[in-house]
Structure formats: C-alpha cells, structure tokens
A and B are shown apart, each in its own frame.
Chain A
Amino acid sequence: MSFKLNNNITQVHWQPLTKLLDPTGVKQQTLAGFDEEFVDIVDYIIRITHRIWEQKNVGLCYKYYSDICPVFTLGAYSECVEQVVQGTLKTIAAFPDRSLIGENVIWKEESDGTYYSSHLITSIMTNTGNSDFGLSTDKTGRVTTIADCVCFENQIVKEWLVRDNSFLISQLGIDLIDAAINFSALQPNDTFNEWYQSEYTRVVNTEHRKELECINYNWTTDNFVQAWAQTLFNQKQFSTLTQFYHVAASHQWPGGRQSTGLAQISGTLIQWLSQCPNAKMTVDHTAVVGFDENTIDIAIRWSVAGNFNPHIERLAQLKGQRYFVLGCTHLRVKNQKIIKEVTVFDEIALYANIIRESGQSLPLLAQGA
C-alpha cells in the first residue's frame, strides 16, 4: 500500500455525531486562515455542513462560502454565494426535515495551500413542498450526495456537486423521464453551456487505447485509479474486474443499482456503458486517505463523454446526441482491491441535457407517452 495512515485526522466512520460536533483533540493541520475552532479539514467540513443544513443556519453560507464560488453540477452552474443561499433555502423549503448524514470525508492538502475535500453524504428527507421535481409528494426518500470542495482560509471557493436524484425520485414515485423532460425546460446560463461544451470536447478527445497496468511492483493509488478508468471504462475489458475488485465487493451506482461481486458489477457497468458505447472517461481529481492499516479510501472526480445510445423506448429519437456525465466515486480499497464503491451522478440532469440539446419535445406520461 502506497499510503501512510494518519491516525490524527478526524475519521467519520465510527464517530458518534456528538463527538464529531464537539472535537476535543488539538489542532492537527495548519489550516491557515481558518477559524481556530477547527482541528482539521474533516472537522471543518462536518461542522459547517451540520450548521448550515441540519441547524438550518442558511445564512452561514455567507461566512463559509466565498463571494465568488463557482459551483458545478450536471444540471446547472452557479457562481456566487447568493445563489448558494437561495438554492439551499429552496431545497429546505421543499424537504424541511432533510438530514445530512456525513458518511466520509476524503481530503487532500494541495500544493497551492488549499484543501480539497470530498464529502459523501446520505440524506433522508420528506418532500412536503413543491420542488424542481414537481408538486410535493409527501413521501420520504433517501439520497446519496458527494460534494467535492476546494477550501481556502475558512471558505469554500469552488465546488463540484453530484446527487443521485434518480434514486430519490424513484422513492417519491416520480418517473425518471418525466423528471428529465421537466428539467430540460430550465435554461442553464451561458457559463454552464460554455463549461459543458469545453468539458465534452476535452473528455471525448482523451487518449483511450494506451494500455495501463497496475501490478504489485508499480502499485500506487494514482496508477490504480488511472488503470481502473482506462481498462474498464475506456477499453471495456470486463474480465479484468478481478484486478480491481474483491470477489465480494459491494457496488452502489445511481438509480438503485446495487451489486455485490464481480458478475453483478460487470453487469451494471456493461448495461450502463451500453447507453454510450463510445464513452471516454477522464479522471479529473483524486484524493486518498488511510482508513485502517490495510485499507485506504480514494475519492475520484471523473467525467464521461460520448454519444447516446438509448435503451429506453421513450428516448429512442435521441440516439446519437452528446452524452456527458460529471461523476464522483468513493472507493474503499483493501490489500489493493476495491471492497466497496459508491458512485454518484445525476441521471435526471444527464437525460435533461440530452433532451434540451436535441431541441425535441417529448411527451410526459400524463400526455400519453
């Protein structure tokens, strides 16, 4: 294992919330410009998230986000703290009991003095108000989110946010394609369109044929992640799953795709990639922390681009449209094999972007689809 475990930084996994919210240890990282109360970057992320979301101190966004803070999602782009405050308030109004259960924070101290954090969150929330998904359903759902943030001097200065919205709406009783059609009617701003265009071009042009091996003598986290992306997603060599995954690895993907073991994981990846058979993947950021003596946690932010090959009849006329995904993955790797994977992206936004770009008008279920 090419990583030294740092036992002194907060680890969320076994900590009760009361301890997480009241850390007693001494400061473990420099955290220049951060409030003195924070002992490390994990503590910072956990406590500010709790204060803003669970204690509903939405206005604290002004303190913990910089005035100019680009936030990238697959559905929209926002640039200033005012939009973060408004978005937070809207979500709380639609889901007033939303809890944000911190599952993990994987972090990295960057060379420019910033801290990168990847926060895996499970939320339980009841949809009692109208939302972008439609009218209130009064149903409770669970959703997984990964928020990747660049933190500098006590503030989040840049964020990539992905949420498994397709799993959430399936619990709320909302149809995935209906939700995507409704989302496609929202017009993103120019910055989003420019970002989407440039990201698509960058990813689709990536070199995907080069063979990357990751074997014992050259095993590093970076080699492993690059080989995982290249071999499985770019080259579609699924018999190599055994080089990357433990035989009983658990695998959570958006929309309720839950697999265990190589056969099921292989099926999930093949079925997903068949929607975009020429998919190219780039690894855009990685961070790694120790979990225990033999285990590490890796956070990956990635992109996939290609052309859409619909497997849903209602989307058949969209064949060939541009297909672009912003995704985040958390891997738990033990003895160089993945034992647990959580991958998150927003399938509603993915389909909404395809529908909007096509310029076609698709009927909702209620309109006879």
Chain B
Amino acid sequence: MFNQLIELYTKGDLAQLSANILHSTAWKQHDFTAYGNMQIEKLWLKSIEQFGFLTVTERQEIQGEQFSALYIELSDQVKSEKVSIAFFFEHNNLHIKKLHCVVDTLALARLLQQDVATIMQALPASDPLLLSQFDHQLHPKSYHATPDDITDLPDNVKSTVNKWWNIWQEKQLANFDKIYHNNASIQLAGFGKNEGFNQLRSFHLKLHNRMNRSYCQLENVAFDEAKNSVALKWHVDGDYIDNGVIKRIRLPFISIITISEGLVVKEYLQADWLALCKQYKVSYPFV
C-alpha cells in the first residue's frame, strides 16, 4: 500500500489507491475526518493541487501487521522546497480501514510561497471536538499507556522506545542523553532537519511551557522488525494560553524513530501546525 499512497501524490493515481479504500474507510487529514468516496476524493484532489507531481526525495516505511506507517518527503527541484507527509494506518494488507495523514503545513506554505493565513483558509473545517477536562497528573496508583502496553516489542527495542516515551509522557529530559545518538538525524515538522537532539529538546521545553496541564497520550504503535523502526501515534492535550485566554487544545503527532544498537539514530516528528491553529483558533506561531 506504500506505493499506492506515493503514486497518488506523485502521479495522481486515484484508481490504484481507491481499490484499497472501503466504503467505511476513515481518512483523517488536517484534523478533519473524511468518510466515503466523495469526501476522501476531495481531500486527495486538494492535496494533489497543492503538492502533487513532485519527486520523492525521502521515504521511510514501517510495515506492521495490523498498523503501518509511511513518511515521505516530496521535493520541488526548481524551488528547492519540500513538504513532508506522514501516514499511520490500520489495514489488512488489502484494504485500509482508518488512516491518519499529517502534513507539514508550514513547509507547505513555503513550498507554495503563500502566507500561513492563506494556507489555513484552504484547509477543511476540522472535526468539532469537545475536549474533556481530566486529571492529568501521574498519580502513583494511576496508569498511563506505554508503548509496550500497545504492541509487543523485542527487548532491545522496548527499553529505548519506553525511554523515548518517558521524555514526552513524564517529561524526563535526561533521557535525551541516554537514548539519542550524537549524530541522530531529526526532522521536526515546520522546523527542518538537524543533527543531534538539541533542537528537539528545545522544542520539547517550548511546547510544554506554552501550555498548562499538558498531558501526552499514546494512541497506537506500529513496529517494523526488519528495519528496527517504530511509528507512534500520540497527542498532547493541554490548556494553551493565547493572549490571556485559556483554550483547551489537542495536538496530534506521528513520530517515526529508527533504532540502532539501542540508540535513536533517526527520527521524524510530524505535526500539522496550521490545522491546529485553525481548529482551536490559536495564534501563529504556536511555539
């Protein structure tokens, strides 16, 4: 299914991917969930209009049994700009049941040479979520999902992935030193690529400090044994303070990490910043 997804954007091949789509497939993109051919096709056509027919310059596949993920970077050689897309999907190797597509809309704005307000205007109206207030504290007797609660991971991967999750869930910053390779390649949506974890750590602090009561919740994990790579779908809930007004927000992420000898050597952290700004009417930039 990886090729069908790629050929949708690079060649406009709707027919091939449509064969993998069920009447009941849910396709979530820009925090809007499309169902049925009419809505899903409209999303595809809009994406192809915005970033179609470009060249794939980076690609990572996570082939899991029931859940898989794909990260691609599409480049415009003339403008020297690129846009990245991450997919996390439930499948049975024949059909896709549920897919979450996260586009780096800040990179898209640069690619299209449009301001963020124009891009936001073009995004579909997000699902009107009603976010509950809850106790976000990690009480000693409360229980919060960790990666190995969700999927079976081999021992050599489990420890690293759980420590990676502790960085976000427990805000355990010291784990950066422990699990990242010094030369790890880290691509952070909207902020570009860096070597080493310094930029990611700085982003982590800014993200949590821009919110009160932030809470990270793991949704799903896909593991590719052959590539020693893991894709994690997760989100942060929190109170975002925007010009003195408290807004309850949810920020979805897809993270794809590659592990070698117990260390993270490559990571993509994908978020759709402009969909977030549109959904919760928060001002840009978010961090």
Same complex for A and B? Answer: yes
Q: Is B217 touching A263 in the complex (CB atoms < 8 A)?
A: yes
Q: Is A16 touching B95 in the complex (CB atoms < 8 A)?
A: yes
User: Nearest Cβ in chain B — how far from A212, in angstroms?
Assistant: 22
Instruction: Given A248-B145, A264-B132, decide whether A102 and B24 contact each other with a Cβ distance below 8 A.
Output: yes
Task: List CB contacts (< 8 Å) of B135-193 with chain A.
Answer: 135-136, 141-146, 149-150
**A251-B43 Cα distance, complex, nearest whole Å:** 25
Q: Is A247 touching B36 in the complex (CB atoms < 8 A)?
A: no
**A47-B235 Cα distance, complex, nearest whole Å:** 38
Partner of A16, one of B23, B33, B39: B23
Q: Is A271 touching B215 in the complex (CB atoms < 8 A)?
A: no
Task: List CB contacts (< 8 Å) of B6-39 with chain A.
Answer: 22-24, 26, 33, 35-36, 38-39
16 contacts between A and B (CB under 8 A): A12-B24, A14-B92, A16-B22, A20-B23, A99-B36, A101-B35, A103-B24, A122-B24, A124-B35, A140-B39, A248-B150, A256-B127, A260-B217, A260-B235, A261-B144, A264-B132
CB-based nearest A residue for B235: A260
Q: Is B219 touching A250 in the complex (CB atoms < 8 A)?
A: yes
Q: Is B128 touching A171 in the complex (CB atoms < 8 A)?
A: yes
User: Nearest Cβ in chain B — how far from A76, in angstroms?
Assistant: 25
Cβ of B141: which chain A residues have Cβ within 8 Å of it? 239
| Residue interface mask A223-250, B partner, CB < 8 A = 1 | 0000000000000000100100011101
Task: List CB contacts (< 8 Å) of A119-174 with chain B.
Answer: 122, 124, 140, 142, 167, 170-171
Q: Is A261 touching B145 in the complex (CB atoms < 8 A)?
A: yes
**A125-B134 Cα distance, complex, nearest whole Å:** 33
Cβ of A12: which chain B residues have Cβ within 8 Å of it? 24
Tell me if B130 counts as interface (CB < 8 A to partner A): yes
Main SS of chain A's interface residues? mixed
User: Nearest Cβ in chain B — how far from A200, in angstroms?
Assistant: 26
Q: Is B130 touching A261 in the complex (CB atoms < 8 A)?
A: no
Counting from the closest, the 5 A-B pairs by CB-CB distance are: A267-B134, A267-B132, A17-B23, A247-B145, A248-B145
Q: Is A267 touching B217 in the complex (CB atoms < 8 A)?
A: no
Tell me if B129 counts as interface (CB < 8 A to partner A): yes
Interface centre among B22, B132, B144, B215 (most CB of A within 10 A): B132
Tell me if A268 counts as interface (CB < 8 A to partner B): yes
Cβ of A262: which chain B residues have Cβ within 8 Å of it? 142-144
Instruction: Given A14-B95, A248-B145, decide whether A268 and B35 contact each other with a Cβ distance below 8 A.
Output: no
Instruction: Given A103-B24, A261-B218, A263-B134, decide whether A247 and B95 contact each other with a Cβ distance below 8 A.
Output: no
Cβ of B267: which chain A residues have Cβ within 8 Å of it? none
Cβ of B112: which chain A residues have Cβ within 8 Å of it? none
Cβ of A140: which chain B residues have Cβ within 8 Å of it? 39
Partner of A124, one of B38, B92, B129, B219: B38
Tell me if B110 counts as interface (CB < 8 A to partner A): no
Tell me if B3 counts as interface (CB < 8 A to partner A): no
User: Nearest Cβ in chain B — how far from A125, in angstroms?
Assistant: 10
The total of interchain contacts (Cβ-Cβ below 8 angstroms) comes to 102
User: How many residues belonging to A are interface residues under a CB distance threshold of 8 Å?
Assistant: 40
**A256-B132 Cα distance, complex, nearest whole Å:** 10
Known A-B contacts: A16-B95, A255-B130, A271-B132. Give 19 more (CB < 8 A). A101-B24, A103-B24, A122-B26, A140-B39, A142-B33, A239-B141, A247-B143, A248-B145, A248-B219, A248-B220, A256-B128, A256-B130, A260-B217, A261-B144, A264-B132, A266-B134, A267-B133, A268-B132, A270-B134
Cβ of A197: which chain B residues have Cβ within 8 Å of it? none
User: Nearest Cβ in chain A — how far from B269, in angstroms?
Assistant: 19
**A43-B125 Cα distance, complex, nearest whole Å:** 35
Cβ of B146: which chain A residues have Cβ within 8 Å of it? 247
CB-based nearest B residue for A18: B23
Instruction: Given A15-B22, A101-B24, decide whether A259 and B132 contact each other with a Cβ distance below 8 A.
Output: yes
Tell me if B208 counts as interface (CB < 8 A to partner A): no
User: Nearest Cβ in chain B — how far from A337, in angstroms?
Assistant: 10
Q: Is A263 touching B35 in the complex (CB atoms < 8 A)?
A: no
**A267-B217 Cα distance, complex, nearest whole Å:** 14
**A266-B144 Cα distance, complex, nearest whole Å:** 12
User: Nearest Cβ in chain A — how far from B274, in angstroms?
Assistant: 20
Instruction: Given A12-B24, A239-B141, A248-B145, decide whether A264 and B33 contact each other with a Cβ distance below 8 A.
Output: no
| Residue interface mask A260-300, B partner, CB < 8 A = 1 | 11111011101100000000000000000000000000000
Q: Is B219 touching A263 in the complex (CB atoms < 8 A)?
A: no
Q: Is B36 touching A257 in the complex (CB atoms < 8 A)?
A: no
Q: Is A256 touching B129 in the complex (CB atoms < 8 A)?
A: yes
**A20-B127 Cα distance, complex, nearest whole Å:** 29
| Residue interface mask A320-354, B partner, CB < 8 A = 1 | 00000000000000000000000000000000000
